[in-house]
Amino acid sequence: MKQKQSVEEAVAELDRRRALAMGQGGAKRVADQHAKGRLTARERLALLVDQHSFVEIGQLAHSDRPEIGEQAPADAIVTGVGTVDGRKVCVVAVDSTVMAGATGWVGAHKQARIATLAALKGYPLVSLGDANGARLPDMLGSGFFGAMGTQQGEDFLGLRIEEERIPRVAAALGNAYGDPAFWCAIADYTVMPQNCSVALSGPALVASSVGEKTSHEALGGPDVVAKLTGLISQVTPDEPSAIHSIRRFLSYLPSNASLPPPNAAPLPPRTPPEKLRQLVPEELNHAYDMHKVIDAVVDADTFFELKSLFGRSLITALARIEGRPVGIVANNPVFQAGVFDADSLTKARQLVELCEAFGLPLVFLQDLPGVMIGTAAEKTGVASRVMDLYRSLARVTVPRVSVVIRKAFGFGIFLMGGQGLGADYTAAWASAQIGFMAAGNGVQVLYRRRLAEVRERDGDEAASRLAAELEQGMARDNTPWTAAARDFLHNVIKPEETRRAIVDGLFVGTGYRRRHRR
């Protein structure tokens, strides 16, 4: 009686199992995925990693439930290590053609293992989410207590054993619920195509649990997660552009926080700096788009904006200056005059902490009327958000350069890299206005009684003339000369010298000592 397989039989069995795994959920379900305008997990992987670089881990895994078994190839989770532009990354890709992408025990273990590997080895970690959520009935029962991992072993997201911080990226590439929402919430960069959604639970569970009838779009579509909550960093037209953006984001960062950021060949800016005088209106209350200034500062084609639909009075981005990766924080007067509100404060803090973690210098471009005040602002917890950003800035060790473009008023000056929090280099345009508040507002507060008396005695026209005279005098006090004379400003510059001043500031602020994070 034959007691074991021959080599030929064993190899044939191996080929069968490999083919089953590579076939994902079968031809029909793959076709259904394509009919939705979506790629499969393995097609997404092929776009993400360099050709022929992916080493799959756990390809032959499947559901541990006897009645399912091989019907869940790879247990709906493809994991492994590949390279992006030659650098290793760990990848988790949800396969929604298998069991709707829902997470079983084997799939949860695979996610935990690859996350732990990334943390231990110092590789960036990329999650390509789609569908997902806990698989039922697999996760029912008290055994769910161990769903996040064991006390001694791997944890689901790899956070417990992370020694040096690694870049974390998450994509929501379908109607992604459950696990993908957690991956997005802890990621440094998140992306989703226009027709996708991400939330803790899908519409069906929301309806059965809390009685609310909703849709994928209303629950976690771009208008919610990109504009309202800021969970998603970027919304793209389609999946290939989303995955391309992941490759681009990673190009600015080191593989982990113990390594220096990768430099590139320097390029001149897209807009000649000499044009800055024409791009920025002299009148303080005239709006303009700060993106035009940034184009005259950073290397051409290196601007990579983050959360452009959230907290729109502030621009946060990664870019390169003379080939060096930097973080850009810039007020944008075209939205709410560039004021700091709760959302833009949160957005600024997130970029500051990202740059501090991975050693990227911070460049602040100020055109700021102040921090939002009023009852609506207070209801958003604006004071707490101010202090959250202030605390992060106080602990920053990376080089910091700040340039006042047109105006900088109030406490926001310090939140945009002003003196007092360790700025390495500060500069202001010669035409800039700097102070506690704008001259017009200062006159109305300081001379309110006097103006009222003149108005009552001599009329509105006389009061307006007096206000204009007082405002002119206060505006003279707001010029940068006093700050420069007291050495609060390191330099006063012409508009066309802005890029040069930033390059000089980065030179001054980049030291030889190893950074000691506080």
The residues with which 304 forms a beta bridge, in sequence order, are 318
Question: Of residues 100 and 186, which shows the higher confidence score?
Answer: 186
Determine the 3-state secondary structure of 142 from DSSP: helix
Name the nearest CA neighbour of 79 among 64, 70, 90, 63: 90
Q: How far is CA 213 from CA 52, 204, 210, 288, 490, in A?
A: 45, 8, 9, 42, 58
Query: Could you give the residue ranges of the DSSP H alpha helices within 36-161?
Result: 41-48, 105-121
pLDDT digits (tens, 9 = 90+) for 329-339: 999 999 999 99
Ranges 131-145, 351-365, 442-456, most confident: 351-365
Sorted by where each begins, the domain ranges of the chain are 39-251, 273-436+479-509, 439-477
Query: pLDDT band at residue 350, thresholds of 50, 70 and 90?
Result: very high
C-alpha span between 345 and 412 (Å, rounded)? 10
Name the nearest CA neighbour of 201 among 116, 147, 136, 143: 136
Domain 39-251 identical in fold to domain 273-436+479-509? yes
Query: pLDDT band at residue 353, thresholds of 50, 70 and 90?
Result: very high
Contact 44, 173 (CB under 8 A): yes
Q: Residue 439 has what pLDDT?
A: 66
Q: What is the mean pLDDT of residues 159-174?
A: 88
Q: What is the mean pLDDT of residues 184-191?
A: 96
* 42: pLDDT strictly greater than 90: yes
CB burial string 355-378: b at 16+ within 10 A, e below: bbbbbbbbbbbbbbbbbbeeeebe
pLDDT digits (tens, 9 = 90+) for 213-246: 999 999 999 999 999 999 999 999 999 999 999 9
Contact 166, 255 (CB under 8 A): yes
Query: pLDDT band at residue 33, thresholds of 50, 70 and 90?
Result: very high
Residue with tokens 């939002």: 372
Instruction: Note the pTM of the prediction, 2 decimals.
Output: 0.91
Q: Residue 448 has what pLDDT?
A: 82
* 132: pLDDT strictly greater than 70: no
Q: Residue 151 has what pLDDT?
A: 52
Query: pLDDT band at residue 159, thresholds of 50, 70 and 90?
Result: confident
Q: What is the mean pLDDT of residues 24-28?
A: 93
Q: Residue 518 has what pLDDT?
A: 55
* 314: pLDDT strictly greater than 90: yes
Residue 506 belongs to what H/E stretch? helix 498-509
C-alpha span between 189 and 46 (Å, rounded)? 20
pLDDT digits (tens, 9 = 90+) for 63-109: 888 888 788 888 889 999 999 999 999 999 999 999 888 888 888 88
Q: Degrees (nearest 5) of the Cα angle 389, 494, 415?
A: 5
The residues with which 325 forms a beta bridge, in sequence order, are 320
CB burial string 121-153: b at 16+ within 10 A, e below: ebbbbbbbbbbbbbbeebbeeeeeeeeebeeee
Domain range 273-436+479-509, CATH architecture: Alpha-Beta Complex (3.90)
Determine the 3-state secondary structure of 169 from DSSP: strand
Query: pLDDT band at residue 144, thresholds of 50, 70 and 90?
Result: low
3-state SS string over 115-133? HHHHHHHCCCEEEEECCCC
Amino acid at 354: L
C-alpha span between 170 and 180 (Å, rounded)? 8
Q: Residue 107 has what pLDDT?
A: 87
Q: Residue 312 has what pLDDT?
A: 97
Mean of the per-residue pLDDT values of the chain: 91
39-251 folds as 2-enoyl-CoA Hydratase; Chain A, domain 1 (3.90.226)
Q: Residue 70 has what pLDDT?
A: 84
Least confident of 271-275, 363-367, 473-477: 473-477
Ranges 1-15, 146-160, 383-397, 410-424, most confident: 383-397
